[in-house]
Structure formats: structure tokens, C-alpha cells
Amino acid sequence: MTFLQAMLLAILQGVSELFPVSSLGHTVLLPALLGWHIQRSDPTFLAFVVALHFGTALALLVFYRRDWMRIVLGLARSLVRGRIEDADARLGWLLVAGTVPLALAGVFLEGPVRSLFGSPALVAAFLVVNAFVMFAGERLKRVSTLVAARPLAKLPFGNGALIGASQALALLPGISRSGASIVAGLLSDMTHDDAARFSFLLATPAIFAASVLEFPRLLAPAAHAVLLESLLGGILAGLTAYASVAFLTRYFHTNDLRPFGWYCLTFGTVCFTLAIMKVIT
């Protein structure tokens, strides 16, 4: 991995982690398209990826810093008083309910699906599936327009857990974490705005915890070879992730998932065709 490749991957991570287009899918497909022969299992590459995830998580924490301060204080009050008394505490427990199923899925399912990461054809096929998941979510949302939108503050805890569980689909390379959880939010009668906000808040502990658990990779002797790339890549991923979430929170005020669906359908179909023709491997 050259320095330029590392910086491009950092930008790609920062953008695609939050856009509903699958960061994992793109980190498999774009290097294949560009002829980059990157060993994803190499210790230096894994250490570099940890730095990118850590930068993305920090960007989310900074962007939602005021929300997280209120949420943490709300959770603390509810634990001390033994009951939920305000919207901040309720949102905190909704995030807990959504995080637990994803954590369990990560523990038990990540290993079995890791073998799928090396096949561009399979990743491209999942990217097409990702498109149809978003199309279906938007279609079902339009069908249920007569149902009053449910504010995030009134989301049932069971729905919060289901939205969190939907993120487990992102263990499949090509399925977007944010796309799946926003669709699950729409099917819970939330607005695009609230569904996106809950999705990004859910992503924060998930990405942060994953990067912290893998942080020892950055301290391994092999990681010293990519120390500069990891440092600059983490910063670049954080900056682009911050810009991405700032854009998307405005975008979902008045727009929906369909443009991302068309992108995934087009890009996935092209990559699948090239992989079948053995143009990319």
C-alpha cells in the first residue's frame, strides 16, 4: 500500500462509513477496480484500518458531543433514581437496546462471514441487494404515509432493539450499516430525519468500541511501518466523516434514500459484471 493509496482509502472510509453505500464493500471493490493488490489480512493493513475507524468514531463523538453529554447524564440520572424521567434518559436506553443485539452479532457472526470479504463478485452482488433494501424501505414508507410519524422520543424499546439488530446486516460486505438502520427506522414509522439521527448515534458506540477493542494492533511492532499513514489516515478519515455526517443530517431533512440506492445498483452491477468477466479479481 503506497502513501497515496492509504490517503485515498482514508477518504473512502470517512465518506462511505456514514453514507448508505457500504464502506466495507467499497474497500473491497475500489482497490480491485484500480488494480491495488492489498493484503487485507496483513498486520500493517489491519493496524491502518483501526486508525481509520478510530478517526471516524471521534468525528461522530465530536459532531454529536452535546447530544452525548445529555444522553450520558440522562442515563446516570435514571440509574440513580431507578426510573426514566426525561427524553435524554429514554434516548440513552434506546441506544443501549439497539447496541446490545449488534454487539452479540459481531461476536458470533463476524468470523463466519469474514471469508466473504475476498470475493469482488459476491461483494458487488451484496451492494445490489443493498440498493433493493433501500428501494423497498422507501416504497413501504410511502405506502404507510397515512400513519402519523413517530417521534424518536416515543420509539418503543423493542423497535430500538430491532433497528440496532438491523445493523448486523453490515457484517456482509456490500450491505450498509446506516442504510439498513435507516430503513428499519422508516419501517418503525420514523421520519427520515429521526431515522438518520438515531442511525448515526447508534453507529458511534459501535465504531468506537470496535476500534478500541482492536487498538492493540496499533501498538504491535508491525504497525510501526505504517505509523505515519495511520496517523494522517485517521485524521483524514475523521475530517471526511465529520463533513459527511454534517451533510447527511441536512440532506435527510427533505430527501430520501433512493439516490443512494440507484448509485449502489449501478456501481454494484458494473462491478459484478466485471468480476464475472474476470476483469477484476
d(CA 128, CA 133) in angstroms, rounded, equals 9
Query: Exposed/middle/buried for 269, CB within 10 Å: 0-12, 13-18, 19+?
Result: middle
Give a yes or no: residue 130 inside a domain.
yes
**For residue 188, what is its C-alpha cell?**
418503525
pLDDT at 44: 78
Nearest to 199 by CA among 231, 221, 176: 176
pLDDT at 116: 59
Domain hosting 158: range is: 3-276
Q: Which of 92-96, 99-103, 225-229 has the highest mean pLDDT?
A: 92-96
What residues contact 120, with CB distance under 8 A and at least 6 apart?
28, 29, 32, 271, 274, 275, 280, 281
d(CA 195, CA 185) in angstroms, rounded, equals 5
Per residue in 238-276, pLDDT tens? Answer: 999 999 999 999 999 999 999 999 999 999 999 999 999
d(CA 201, CA 198) in angstroms, rounded, equals 5
How many domains is the chain partitioned into structurally? 1
Dihedral sign for Cα 20, 240, 72, 86, please. negative
pLDDT at 136: 95
End-to-end CA distance of the chain: 17
d(CA 165, CA 159) in angstroms, rounded, equals 10
Give a yes or no: residue 214 inside a domain.
yes
d(CA 54, CA 235) in angstroms, rounded, equals 9
Give a yes or no: residue 281 inside a domain.
no
Per residue in 16-56, pLDDT tens? Answer: 999 999 988 898 899 889 888 877 767 777 778 888 989 99
d(CA 67, CA 74) in angstroms, rounded, equals 10
Using pLDDT thresholds of 50, 70 and 90, give the confidence band for residue 108. low
